[in-house]
Amino acid sequence: MRKYLFTITTILFMCSFPAKAFMPEYPDDKEFEQCTKVSDDRDLCVREESRRSLNAIKRQFNTILNHPNIKSWHNTNNENIEIMRDLYESWTAFRNRLCSLAKVSTRFLEPITDEKDACTLYYTLHLQDHLNSVILLLDKKAPANRVDFDFLRIYDHDKLYGECMRKNMENECITEEMKRTSDNIKLQYKEFAKDPAVSGWNNSDDLESGNYRDMYDSWIAYRNRLCSLAVWAYRQNYGPQAITMNQCLQFYNREKFEALRNLISAAHSTLDEEDFETAEPQADDGGAAEGNLIPPLERKIEKGSKDSLTDIEKESTETPETKENAPQNNSDKNNLNIPSWANQ
């Protein structure tokens, strides 16, 4: 085993936190540090920090919805509540499924901590960080120079973007890049669905249903609603030309693309499976046992049109389709209670 220690450490650094190359480092809080001093169960400390961060997110939602400037986001407070509720639900559903898939993808890497718990903590801190940036924008506490405020603007463009920029305007190039990244994400989902290492996790024979489809649809709904909020708040602070919707959508597209690419690489690690003994029944079933632990979505959330995108700007925003005729339940627009499935 010792001969693999360095390799394991290197791969874990690259793969355990799928989108980390595009996100800030998140330091552990004081309570986590104290927990690790008195407990040998690091996973327990991770789960406790994740719960603290989730509670902080719920407080951030209340802060945003009660902020005096939020009234100009949409026409009524009910609309704001409904969209924020959709944002929370779709984010939670996406996070739970991606982190479940991360556990399946890294099951032969013997992570120091449970991969699902570590991934859940990362994406919870990730949303907390982005909501904090939105609050800074609403409070007019973001840096006066938008160049000094990196929120939503740091990612590596592809080669075709550079070629486009030599001939066209930036927004046209961003739109084209966004379409390319969306197509690549679709191809990655197809690759996951047919790959023996992770195909069983879907619990379905195709991409029309199952965990992959639910994860995909939830991510689209989450991304669109967070971009609606973030772009609006950004423009409140820096002016109407500060950022386009497509720049925000491409930011999250690029993040998702990197996460999926790292996970499929982890699922096909050069480490030999026979060198690692595991008692987990899903080790050779393509993740089916883990996939069965995920309850199906009770409430599908549409990708969003006028309530989350075109009220901000009327430009074309080519986004992947979500499931047609998805059942909707918006009768409780004034109720911000979190449904039970969102915290599974």
Predicted confidence at residue 317, as pLDDT, reads 32
Q: Does some domain include residue 216? A: yes
Q: Is the pLDDT of residue 139 over 80?
A: yes
Q: Does some domain include residue 16? A: no
Q: Is the pLDDT of residue 327 over 50?
A: no
Q: Is the pLDDT of residue 162 over 60?
A: yes
For the entire predicted model, the pTM comes to: 0.79
Predicted confidence at residue 110, as pLDDT, reads 59
Q: Does some domain include residue 15? A: no
Give the residue numbers spanning the domain of 106: 40-270+307-323
Q: What is the mean pLDDT of residues 270-278?
A: 51
Q: Is the pLDDT of residue 326 over 60?
A: no
180-183: Cβ within 8 A, 24+ apart: 181/250, 181/253, 181/254, 181/257, 182/253, 182/318, 182/319, 182/320
| pLDDT, the chain, mean | 76
Highest mean pLDDT among 5-9, 35-39, 244-248, 303-307: 244-248
Q: Is the pLDDT of residue 7 over 60?
A: no
Q: What is the mean pLDDT of residues 191-204?
A: 88
Predicted confidence at residue 281, as pLDDT, reads 40
Worst-scoring range by mean pLDDT, 83-97, 200-214, 310-324? 310-324
Between residues 30 and 272, which one has the greater pLDDT?
30
Q: Does some domain include residue 243? A: yes
Between residues 183 and 30, which one has the greater pLDDT?
183
Predicted confidence at residue 340, as pLDDT, reads 37
Q: Does some domain include residue 6? A: no
Which pLDDT band, with edges at 50, 70 and 90, does 165 fall under?
confident
Q: What is the mean pLDDT of residues 33-61?
A: 89
Predicted confidence at residue 308, as pLDDT, reads 33
Q: Does some domain include residue 285? A: no
Q: Does some domain include residue 99? A: yes
Q: Is the pLDDT of residue 136 over 90?
A: yes
Q: Does some domain include residue 140? A: yes
Between residues 123 and 307, which one has the greater pLDDT?
123
How many domains is the chain built from? Answer: 1
